[in-house]
Every structure is written in C-alpha cells, then in structure tokens.
C-alpha cells in the first residue's frame, strides 16, 4: 500500500482530486467507484472546480456508489442518492443516467443486490474507487464480523456506525439500521483504490491498515491484499 501523508484535510482532498483528474485524462470513459460520508466531500469540491475550469470532463464517465441506507426514500435529505446529487452530480457535466447507487426504495432488496452486482460486472468493473474508512474499520457498509460478504448485499449497521452517522439525522433513532452495500470482493475488484482518512477518530483504523495483519474485525485490512491501493491521510489520522 502506498501512503501519502498530508498536513491537513485540504491537502488530502487536493491530492485525491489530482489522482481522479489524472484518471479522467488518461481514460475519459472511466468507471469511477464513489463513496459518501464527510471525508470525500473536499475531494468532490475540488473535482467540481476542475470541471468548471475545463480541466476535466465527466461526460463519458460512469459511476457506481458503494452503498445506500435501506430502506430509505431517494428524496430523503440523508439518502446517499441526495448526497451524491448535492455534493457532485448536480455540479458537473455527468450524465445522471450513467450514475448508479443501490436503490434504497427497492421492494425486493435481495433482487436489487443481485442486479447491482450484475450491472457492475457488465460495466467491466471499476477503474478507480475512492473509499472512506469507518472508525471501526468498515469500508462501504462492510462492518466488522467473523465472516464478510463477497458481493453486494443487505447488511445491519453496527452501533458504532449508527452513532457515527447520527450527526446527520435529527436523532440517533432516525438513522436507518440497515444498508445495501457492495461486498468485499466487489470493492476489491476495482483496478485502483484510493482510501482517504482524516482526523483523530480514524487513527485506530489507520493503524490497523498499516500493520501487517489482516482481520475481518477491521474489514479495511483486506485491502492489504490488493495490488494497487493508495492511502491518503492527514497527520491526525496517521497519529498512531
Ligand atoms: P466519514 O465516514 O467519511 O463520514 O467519516 C466514513 C465511512 O463511514 O466510511
């Protein structure tokens, strides 16, 4: 794993945006794997600026998001569907028909998972995937467990994740307790992965990412088996 250590969140976001910009320069019809949460917001802002400046073009890009709450209405202010529109899609020249997010409104969640995985495969797989990391080491909604799922699936959220995400909702009781997420194999099939970590609350997860152990109790540690992963983190996240 390559590590890029940054002074702060802004530098982390700029470095990550530069990697995405380079990807789009090299392959304008890239398949991008996208993430939600507070961490990638700065990177998305910088991509919007680059798009406005004419430096990068999203017109041929296709995207797949890692996860979505389940069940949730798309127009809920906290759905990842809303998040992506507000933080990226509505600000760049992407064709919204080329963006895929698991459907939190699907009546048959299992069917939705199978279809999502099939769409990913038919698209030929993700070229460049951005990931955040949970305080508990989750990626997407692949939460610490004895066994991890390989492919897109419905999952329960851990208390740690529900509490961490409560800041976005009126109360902790409003946080959905389930999600649809790409599985570990779906994520690991990306050709290149950029994982972002910022702030003191991520220091334990980053420490686990950088020792030589792999454990399903910190799902992100499986990334150590991937041949092309870049961790971009700030000093606080790197503290341990
Ligand atoms: P955060 O979430 O970026 O809001 O910290 C990261 C994650 O849960 O993957």
For the CA of 140, the nearest atom of ligand 1 = 9
Q: What is the CA radius of gyration of the chain?
A: 17
Closest alpha carbon to 60 in 23, 87, 86: 23
Fold entry, domain 2-231: Rossmann fold (3.40.50)
Pairing relationship of beta strands 153-156 and 62-65 according to DSSP bridges: unpaired
8 Å CB contact between 89 and 153: no
What pLDDT does residue 192 have? 98
What pLDDT does residue 185 have? 98
First to last CA, the chain: 17
Q: What is the mean pLDDT of residues 35-61?
A: 98
**pLDDT tens by residue, 48-58:** 999 999 999 99
For the CA of 201, the nearest atom of ligand 1 = 5
What is the rounded distance in angstroms from the CA atom of residue 4 to the CA atom of residue 86?
28
What pLDDT does residue 133 have? 98
Domain range list for the chain: 2-231
Q: Give the distance between the most distant pair of CA atoms in the chain.
A: 47
Check if 51 has its Cβ closer than 6 Å to any atom of ligand 1: no
Residues 6+ positions from 75 with CB-CB distance below 8 Å: 81, 82
138 is catalytic: yes
Per cent of the chain over pLDDT 90 is 100
Q: What is the mean pLDDT of residues 173-180?
A: 95
What pLDDT does residue 179 have? 97
């Amino acid at each position: 794993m390559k590590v890029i250590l940054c002074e702060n969140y802004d530098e982390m976001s700029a470095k990550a945006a530069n990697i995405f910009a380079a990807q789009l320069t090299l392959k304008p019809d890239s398949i991008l794997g996208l993430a939600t949460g507070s961490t990638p917001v700065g990177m998305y802002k910088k991509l919007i600026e680059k798009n406005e400046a004419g430096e990068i073009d999203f017109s041929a890009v296709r995207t797949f998001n890692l996860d979505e709450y389940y069940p949730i209405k798309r127009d809920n202010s906290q759905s990842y569907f809303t998040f992506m529109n507000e933080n990226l899609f509505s600000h760049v020249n992407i064709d919204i028909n080329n963006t895929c997010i698991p459907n939190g409104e699907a009546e048959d969640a299992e069917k939705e998972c199978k279809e999502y995985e099939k769409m990913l495969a038919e698209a030929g797989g993700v070229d460049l995937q951005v990931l955040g990391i949970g305080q508990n080491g989750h990626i997407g909604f692949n939460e610490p467990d004895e066994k991890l799922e390989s492919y897109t699936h419905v999952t329960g959220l851990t208390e740690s994740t529900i509490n961490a995400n409560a800041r976005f909702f009126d109360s902790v009781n409003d946080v959905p307790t389930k999600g649809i997420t790409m599985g570990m194999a779906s994520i690991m099939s990306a050709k290149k992965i950029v994982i972002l970590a910022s702030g003191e609350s991520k220091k334990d997860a980053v420490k686990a990412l950088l020792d030589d152990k792999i454990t399903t109790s910190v799902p992100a540690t499986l990334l150590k088996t991937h041949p092309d992963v870049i961790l971009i983190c700030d000093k606080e996240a790197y503290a341990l």
